[in-house]
Every structure is written in structure tokens, then in C-alpha cells.
Amino acid sequence: MAKNDLEYQLRLEIKDQLSKVTKANSPNIYSAIHNTNGGLNVNGYVRMEAKLVQKIIAGQLTPAAAVPQLEQELDLL
């Protein structure tokens, strides 16, 4: 599988996991990727995606496991 295919698949999986984020289950990530009116904050999304990629690589995690871990870390800040 080509590098671009792996990157594309990872970004799709991250997108799928971030689409499941709500104010109730991950308030820090939700506020980072959404505007006050509930629309997508593109800059915030790109930032969270990059943090998730780093976390996935460093911790050898799945995107589903990386999202709650990132939320917990953001909660400590």
C-alpha cells in the first residue's frame, strides 16, 4: 500500500472519530473543532487532527483510542 493511501485511510478514520465527538463526551475537542454556532472550525480541526496523528504514531494507538486520551490531556491543561 502506498504512503498516500495509508495517510488517506488514517485521515478518514480520524474524521470518522471526530464526527462522533460531542459536547458531552469530549468538550475540549468539541470546542476546538466547532465554532460557537456549532459549525466546523477548520483551523481547530486541522490542529486536532495533527495532534491525533502525533498521538497515534507515538503511542501506537488507534484513532478511536487516541481521541479520549487527547481529551483527557486537554482537560489537564
pLDDT, position 71: 97
Residue 34: domain span: 12-76
Instruction: Give 11-23 pLDDT, tens digit per residue.
Output: 999 999 999 999 9
pLDDT, position 38: 86
Domain contains 2: no
What is the C-alpha separation between 51 and 67, in angstroms, rounded? 10
Full-model pTM: 0.89
Domain contains 65: yes
What is the C-alpha separation between 32 and 46, in angstroms, rounded? 10
Domain contains 37: yes
Q: Please give the tally of structural domains in the chain.
A: 1
Q: What residues have CB less than 8 Å from 11, skipping those under 6 apart?
A: 49
pLDDT, position 77: 77
Domain contains 70: yes
Instruction: Give 24-68 pLDDT, tens digit per residue.
Output: 999 999 999 999 998 999 999 999 999 999 999 999 999 999 999
- Please determine, for residue 3, whether its predicted confidence score (pLDDT) is greater than 80: no
pLDDT, position 1: 59
Dihedral over Cα of 2, 44, 61, 54: its sign: positive
